[in-house]
């Protein structure tokens, strides 16, 4: 009988794994379980805030994966995993058995760090850290705020989904405000002491948004030693540990994160809230025959990005196919690339290749990556076009 691989989560990680397994060995039956019939990508969702793209254009369905690769797609929520019986329960009460399970549920939030901020409040004080209604809500709140309004973005501590994401978001909001509300301000309150591509962002902010001057459209402030501990939704006020009160017209609070709920329930997370895995296969160190890929997995120093998620998915798919065919595992290589837009025509990027070192840990390959090197106008313009190209190719590669 055919081996059955079940994949939970049809985001960049899960969809890529499903497709890759079927391409490598079409004798393996693959079932992909994803609650939503349509996936909205987080990549590109900051561009919606800048007015460069509409949310609908970031949507992808699963018909092509079913049609072209013979993947069985089920739109239900997985409610329980039984690692002993190797079976899953779905929200429609169906039970599904697997030979190997790949979990790719993405992230959930650590509600409770900030008093007064929870999933219900986030519907109108959005984090917008999963693309969807909240992305639109954030855009609408910014459009409706006073011309000299302040937007406060609270950026989370490491590790979190998309390290350059909050700073691209600040850039895109400033890009919008420069055209429509030039007296506005985007204030980033950061639970870190520094951030991804910091020099390149700051250089861009100086060029376009008066960064560092009294008329700056963007301000960045580290609150690593003075974290936000409470939020008053009615008055849109944040309170920090030292008792500072910060009031804004629009609050965008991005909470600290952990692996998606079903990974916690399945016993795949350690005390950090994320899932420890063997790098070579993505197999859980806590539960046999279950693999974890994408944002939910601990794959440091690889960042939690869509691009990295597809790379982890491919490494895992190769390993699963080898394991099911009782072959030796091959040596993995991972790649990550993250583009960010500072304006519509100013892009920056980071890229890296990773391999296992002698100690068996994932490590960045020296000389194989880096950040944007050429910062003349034409090069930055080209990078903004590569950003769009990268989006098109990664989504096409994953969903068709
Ligand atoms: P997800 O994309 O979150 O997919 C998980 C899926 O699992 C979801 O569809 C969910 O519905 C499903 N699921 C969860 N639990 C269950 C369950 N119990 N049953 C059934 N289904 C379930 N990355 C880049 O590379 N480039 C970028 O430019 C970029 N920009 C970003 C901008 C923003 C604002 C944000 C927030 C993120 C950005 N990212 C970017 C990061 C990227 O979105 C994530 O790293 C990526 O989505 C991770 O993929 P994943 O498959 O692990 O998780």
pLDDT tens profile 291-318 = 999 999 999 999 999 999 999 999 999 9
Per residue in 65-84, pLDDT (tens digit) is 999 999 999 999 999 999 99
Q: Is 43 in the pocket of ligand 1 (CB under 6 A)?
A: yes
Q: Is 309 in the pocket of ligand 1 (CB under 6 A)?
A: yes
Smallest CA separation from ligand 1 atom 46, residue: 306
- Of 93, 69, 65, nearest to 79 by C-alpha is 93
- Mean pLDDT score across all residues of the chain: 97
User: The complex's ipTM?
Assistant: 0.99
Q: Is 304 in the pocket of ligand 1 (CB under 6 A)?
A: yes
* pLDDT cut 70: percent of the chain above it: 100
Helix (H) or strand (E) holding 144: helix 133-144
pTM (two decimals) = 0.97
- Whole-angstrom Cα distance, residue 208 to residue 24? 47
Q: Is 307 in the pocket of ligand 1 (CB under 6 A)?
A: yes
Q: Is 9 in the pocket of ligand 1 (CB under 6 A)?
A: yes
Tokens encoding 40: 């909205």
Contact between 363 and 301 (Cβ < 8 Å): yes
- Of 303, 296, 358, 397, nearest to 78 by C-alpha is 296
pLDDT for 337: 96
- Atom number, ligand 1, closest to the C-alpha of residue 77: 19
Q: Is 260 in the pocket of ligand 1 (CB under 6 A)?
A: yes
- Whole-angstrom Cα distance, residue 45 to residue 341? 12
- Of 161, 205, 165, 162, nearest to 186 by C-alpha is 205
pLDDT for 336: 98
Per residue in 146-168, pLDDT (tens digit) is 999 999 999 999 999 999 999 99
Q: Is 108 in the pocket of ligand 1 (CB under 6 A)?
A: no
Provide the pLDDT confidence category of residue 215 given band limits of 50, 70 and 90. Answer: very high
- Atom number, ligand 1, closest to the C-alpha of residue 337: 25
CA of 11 to the centre of ligand 1 (A): 5
> Which letter does DSSP use for residue 361 in this model?
-
What is the DSSP code string of 240-258? ETT--EEE-SEEEE---EE
- Atom number, ligand 1, closest to the C-alpha of residue 336: 25
Q: HSE on the CB side for 331, CA within 13 Å? A: 7
pLDDT for 109: 98
Q: Is 156 in the pocket of ligand 1 (CB under 6 A)?
A: no
Per residue in 268-293, pLDDT (tens digit) is 999 999 999 999 999 999 998 999 99
CA of 110 to the centre of ligand 1 (A): 16
Would the pLDDT of 367 be above 70? yes
> Given 3-state DSSP classes, what are the helix, strand and coil percentages for the chain, each rounded to the nearest 5?
30, 30, 40
Would the pLDDT of 1 be above 90? no
CA of 215 to the centre of ligand 1 (A): 36
Q: Is 15 in the pocket of ligand 1 (CB under 6 A)?
A: no
Mean pLDDT confidence for 338-365: 97
pLDDT for 2: 82
Mean pLDDT confidence for 118-125: 98
């Amino acid at each position: 009988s055919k081996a059955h691989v079940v994949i939970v989560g049809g985001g960049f990680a899960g969809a890529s794994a499903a497709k890759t397994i079927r391409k490598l060995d079409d004798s393996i039956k693959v079932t992909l379980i994803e609650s939503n019939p349509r996936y909205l990508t987080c990549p590109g969702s900051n561009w919606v805030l800048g007015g460069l793209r509409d949310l609908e254009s970031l949507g992808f369905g699963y018909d092509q994966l079913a049609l072209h690769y013979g993947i069985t797609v089920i739109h239900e929520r997985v409610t329980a995993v039984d690692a002993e019986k190797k079976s899953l329960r779905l929200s429609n009460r169906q039970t599904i058995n697997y030979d190997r399970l790949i979990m790719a549920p993405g992230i959930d939030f650590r509600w409770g760090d900030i008093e007064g901020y929870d999933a219900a409040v986030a519907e109108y004080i959005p984090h917008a850290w999963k693309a969807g209604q909240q992305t639109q809500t954030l855009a609408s709140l910014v459009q409706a705020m006073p011309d000299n309004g302040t937007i406060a973005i609270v950026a989370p501590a490491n590790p979190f989904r998309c390290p350059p994401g909050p700073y691209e978001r600040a850039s895109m909001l400033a890009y919008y405000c420069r055209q429509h509300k030039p007296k506005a301000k985007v204030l980033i309150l950061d639970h870190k002491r520094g951030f991804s591509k910091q020099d390149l962002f700051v250089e861009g902010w100086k060029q376009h948004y008066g960064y560092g001057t009294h008329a700056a459209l963007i301000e960045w402030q580290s609150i690593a030693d003075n974290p936000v501990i409470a939020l008053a939704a009615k008055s849109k006020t944040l309170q920090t540990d030292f008792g500072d009160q910060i009031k804004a017209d629009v609050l965008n609070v991005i909470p600290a994160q952990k692996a998606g709920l079903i990974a916690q329930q399945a016993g795949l997370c350690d005390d950090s809230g994320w899932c420890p895995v063997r790098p070579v296969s993505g197999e859980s160190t806590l539960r046999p025959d279950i693999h974890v890929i994408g944002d939910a997995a601990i794959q440091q120093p690889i960042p939690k990005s869509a691009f990295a998620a597809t790379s982890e998915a491919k490494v895992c798919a190769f390993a699963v196919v080898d394991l099911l065919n009782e072959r030796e595992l091959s040596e993995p290589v991972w790649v990550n690339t993250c583009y960010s837009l500072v304006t519509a025509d100013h892009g920056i990027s980071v890229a890296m290749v990773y391999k296992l070192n002698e100690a068996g840990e994932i490590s960045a390959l020296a000389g194989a990556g880096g950040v944007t090197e050429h910062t003349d106008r034409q090069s930055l313009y080209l990078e903004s076009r590569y950003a769009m190209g990268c989006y098109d190719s990664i989504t096409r590669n994953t969903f068709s």
